[in-house]
Amino acid sequence: MFLTAPALAEEADHEIHEELRGLLRKIESAINSEQYESMAECFTEPAAITTINQEVIRSRSEIGPYFRKWFGPGGFLKKLGMKFSADALTQLNPEKTYGIVQGSGEENYTLADGRFFPMKTRWTATVMKDADGRWRIRAIHIGTNFLDNPILAKAEKSLVWAGGIGAAAGVLLAAVLAWLICRRRRA
């Protein structure tokens, strides 16, 4: 959420919201710069992170290995670029010890073969003030609209092409077989 400087100064609990905005910026920066382990400090221990592919990360120590498995050298995907936006200010409880926030994301995936897929995502997070007084993410769930998915659309398009090529090959094979049968009958 983007607010002008005067609006930011007047928002209730401005310092808390600034710290929470900092969490989003740190996570974006860590992902975009491939410094995955550095985002671990943004989460509580234990954590509850459900990723876009619906894998679950339950500990800070699992964050780096998860991203390294999927992205970079030896990963299934070459690169991930990400931008998060909150829909509105975090809804804080009266004691200001936890809150809930939701928003959207733009995730740009580059596959190992160089193909590029932009994905729109939605996310919901529960944040809490940790024992050391810092705000951290306790739980986050990231999802995408599987009906509006560029990877699925590309796969469907490939199936149509494969079906068309298969049908054409079948017609050509039938024509060749018919020609051979007719030729054999004449002989």
3-state secondary structure of 109: strand
Q: Do residue 158 and residue 113 come from a single domain?
A: no
What residue numbers bound the domain in which 94 lies?
5-148
| Average pLDDT estimate for 173-185 | 77
Residues 26-68 pLDDT 10s: 999 999 999 999 999 999 999 999 999 899 999 999 999 999 9
Q: Do residue 90 and residue 136 come from a single domain?
A: yes
- Give the CA distances from residue 151 to residues 52, 68, 155, in Å, rounded to whole numbers and listed in that order: 13, 21, 6
CATH label of the domain that carries residue 12: 3.10.450.50
For residue 6, pLDDT over 60 is answered with no
Q: Does residue 25 or residue 149 have the better pLDDT?
A: 25
**Count of domains observed in the chain:** 2
Q: Do residue 139 and residue 176 come from a single domain?
A: no
For residue 148, pLDDT over 70 is answered with no
Residue 105 pairs with which residues in a beta bridge?
84, 121
Q: Do residue 91 and residue 160 come from a single domain?
A: no
Q: Do residue 162 and residue 176 come from a single domain?
A: yes
Segment 110-113 long-range contacts (CB within 8 Å, at least 24 positions apart): 110/77, 110/78, 110/79, 110/80, 111/76, 111/77, 111/78, 112/75, 112/76, 112/77, 112/78
Q: Do residue 98 and residue 58 come from a single domain?
A: yes
What is the torsional sign of CA 25, 106, 39, 76? negative
Q: Do residue 123 and residue 187 come from a single domain?
A: no
Model confidence at 1, in pLDDT bands (50, 70, 90)?
very low
Q: Do residue 58 and residue 79 come from a single domain?
A: yes
Distance between CA 110 and CA 87 in Å, rounded?
Answer: 26
pLDDT at 172: 74
Q: Do residue 101 and residue 132 come from a single domain?
A: yes
Q: Do residue 135 and residue 66 come from a single domain?
A: yes
Distance between CA 81 and CA 29 in Å, rounded?
Answer: 9
Residue 111 pairs with which residues in a beta bridge?
77
Q: Do residue 29 and residue 96 come from a single domain?
A: yes
Distance between CA 99 and CA 89 in Å, rounded?
Answer: 10
Q: Do residue 113 and residue 160 come from a single domain?
A: no
